[in-house]
Amino acid sequence: MMHMSIQNRISVTLSPRMKKALELAAGLDGSTTATYATQLLSSAIKNDIKEDPILLEKWIEVEKEAIKNESWDDIALPLTINPEEQRSLQPVQKGWFISGDNPDCYEVGTDKAVVYKKEPSGFIKSKRQNFKGFGTLMQQTSIEGYIGKKLELTAIIKTKDVKQWANLWARLDDDSMKVLWFDNMQDRPLKGTTNWEQVHITMDIPIESSVLNFGVLLVGPGNVWINDFSLVELNGNTREPITDLDVDLGF
């Protein structure tokens, strides 16, 4: 069997017009058509993953497995994302959406009957009692304007019948989707049934930071309400509210 080179594989899959466009761009770039096409493909894949919350979560799981095994060989990829899972990505309210490793087992939304400071609450609750995994109600935003700053994320959380644990979480990624920093408050969890409690996470924004991910997560069965989200910049004894990010913290 004859094995085709990368360059030949590219050539047979492109139209004559696209072949010439690729040759022109590669020539101006000073690289071969195969190298240039590979660079374009890598960039496109990275952008697709960054813009799709479910893909991003699954990619992070794959990266962790590769680091653990010290190899990318024999990494088992997650199952193909089904239409039901895709539908769960639709914004729940304003900028919020559902994600996690088992989002189909959770329901999220706005609860007008549970208020804090006269404002309705966001919620995440389990649909069944016996299952594994977690769900999260979350948002994402570019954080490049706050490189080198110290930020604090706060919220008010209320729980009911949480069998495992729940809490606020935040994660910083670079522009290649590599996790730079992560805190899910697992070492200070909320369990069982609790009244409104203020929780907070502080973070220093590394120079490589590109995306801030944050939200409330629920591991296993239970009900969680969240309200009064805020994000501030800490500067000595002063707290400056951050209002220029592409997020809407209300419900």
Q: What pLDDT is attached to residue 24?
A: 87
Contact in structure between 44 and 51 (CB atoms under 8 Å): no
Q: Is 89 helix (H, G, I), strand (E, B) or coil?
A: coil
Q: How many separate domains does the chain show?
A: 2
Same domain for 221 and 97, yes or no, is yes
| Domain contains 75 | no
**153 burial type by CB count under 10 A (0-12 exposed, 13-18 middle, 19+ buried):** buried
**Which residue segment(s) compose the domain that 209 sits in?**
83-241
Q: What is the pLDDT of residue 88?
A: 41
Length of the chain, in residues: 251
Q: Which of 161, 141, 165 is nearest to 153 (CA)?
A: 141
Q: Is residue 1 part of a domain?
A: no
Q: Hey, which residues does 172 pair with through a beta bridge? A: 181, 212
According to DSSP, residue 95 is labeled: T
How many whole angstroms separate alpha carbon 203 and alpha carbon 224?
A: 24
Quick check: is 220 in a domain?
Answer: yes
Give the span between the Cα atoms of 167 and 163, in whole angstroms: 13
Residue 19, burial from CB neighbour count under 10 angstroms (0-12, 13-18, 19+): middle
Regarding whether 27 and 137 lie in a shared domain, the answer is: no
Checking 58-65 for CB contacts under 8 A at 24+ apart, the result is 59/177, 60/177, 60/179, 61/101, 63/177, 63/178, 63/179
- In this structure, the answer to whether residues 145 and 43 fall within a common structural domain is no
Q: Is residue 91 part of a domain?
A: yes
Around Cβ 172, how many Cβ atoms within 10 Å?
Answer: 23
Q: What is the pLDDT of residue 136?
A: 92
Task: Identify which of 153, 140, 124 has the alpha carbon closest to the alpha carbon of residue 219.
Answer: 124
Q: 197 CB contacts (<8 Å, ≥6 apart)?
A: 156, 157, 158, 190
Q: What pLDDT, on the 0 to 100 scale, is given for residue 87?
A: 43
Residue 191: inside a domain, yes or no?
Answer: yes
Nearest one of 177, 182, 183 to 57, comparing CA atoms: 177
The Cα-based distances of 94 to 80, 90, 248 in angstroms read: 27, 10, 6
DSSP-derived pairing of the beta strands 119-126 and 238-241: unpaired
Q: Is there a single domain that holds both residue 120 and residue 233?
A: yes
Model pLDDT, residue 86: 45
pLDDT of residue 182: 93
Q: Average pLDDT for consecutive 10-residue bins of the chain (251 residues)? A: 47 70 81 78 77 73 73 67 45 70 88 91 91 89 93 97 96 89 94 96 95 94 96 93 88 84
